Amino acid sequence: MHPFFQDLQQGSQKLGLTLSDEALNLLLKYQDALVLWNKAYNLTAIRDPKEMLVKHLLDSLSILKDLPEGRLLDIGTGGGMPGMIIALCQPERQCVLLDSNGKKIRFLKQFIADLKLKNVVAVQTRVENVDSINELGKFDVITSRAFASLTDFIAASRPFMHENSIIASMKGLIPEEEVEQHKNEFSCEIIALTVPRLDEQRHLLLLKQI
């Protein structure tokens, strides 16, 4: 058994999730691969696996039960958070992980190939790239953990949206001024999240076009 198996299992249960042993083991394989690649490629500033478990795996898992269904795009996925974690837990969901950083996308492509994952692809491009936008099409759910500004995330999401798409923005503090700025265009449901062993505020903002 993986040394962090029980920690991950207990943490996911505290989030209200019932993940199979297979999903938990896949998540830990992903974390092990991230730790290994991080030594050479600096994919994430967090180096300690115990800290990764909380700040990457459990933090990403915290949005899972509130995430709308459908084809998902993770913009600015970095090393795969939260997109890869969602894909590993929900094999029925098609996920596209987008980032402009070549090293991070190479890591994700290698991991996808090694595990023969069928429901997730990693794409290296900038969100402004028109050809990529046309090629990737529209998504039901667009998520990100990377954007400091909600306004910037909305702008990056627009080309990938159809009329019923939902933007799922992971935030620490609620960006109340930005929510107010967009209230005439988007309804916003704000969900408070509690991540086990993380003493920081976390929120999920679900924005839908009015």
Phi, psi of 145 (to 5 degrees): -115, 0
The annotation status of 81 as a binding-site residue, yes or no, is yes
> pTM of the prediction?
0.96
Phi, psi of 190 (to 5 degrees): -110, 120
How many domains, in total, are found in the chain? 1
Cβ pair 68, 206 in contact under 8 A: yes
Cβ pair 178, 193 in contact under 8 A: no
The annotation status of 128 as a binding-site residue, yes or no, is yes
C-alpha 43/C-alpha 68 separation (Å) is: 28
Phi, psi of 97 (to 5 degrees): -105, 120
C-alpha 38/C-alpha 107 separation (Å) is: 9
How would residue 75 be classed by pLDDT, with cut points 50, 70 and 90? very high
The annotation status of 189 as a binding-site residue, yes or no, is no
Range of the domain at 202: 4-209
Look at residues 12, 16, 14 and name the one whose alpha carbon lies nearest to residue 25: 12
Furthest C-alpha separation in the chain: 51
The annotation status of 137 as a binding-site residue, yes or no, is no
147-193 pLDDT, tens digit each: 989 999 999 999 999 999 999 999 999 999 999 999 999 999 999 99
Q: Taking the CB of residue 51, how many other CB atoms lie within 10 A of it?
A: 13
C-alpha 195/C-alpha 203 separation (Å) is: 10
Q: Which CATH number does the domain housing residue 188 bear? A: 3.40.50.150
The annotation status of 145 as a binding-site residue, yes or no, is yes
113-151 pLDDT, tens digit each: 999 999 999 999 988 887 887 899 999 999 999 898 999
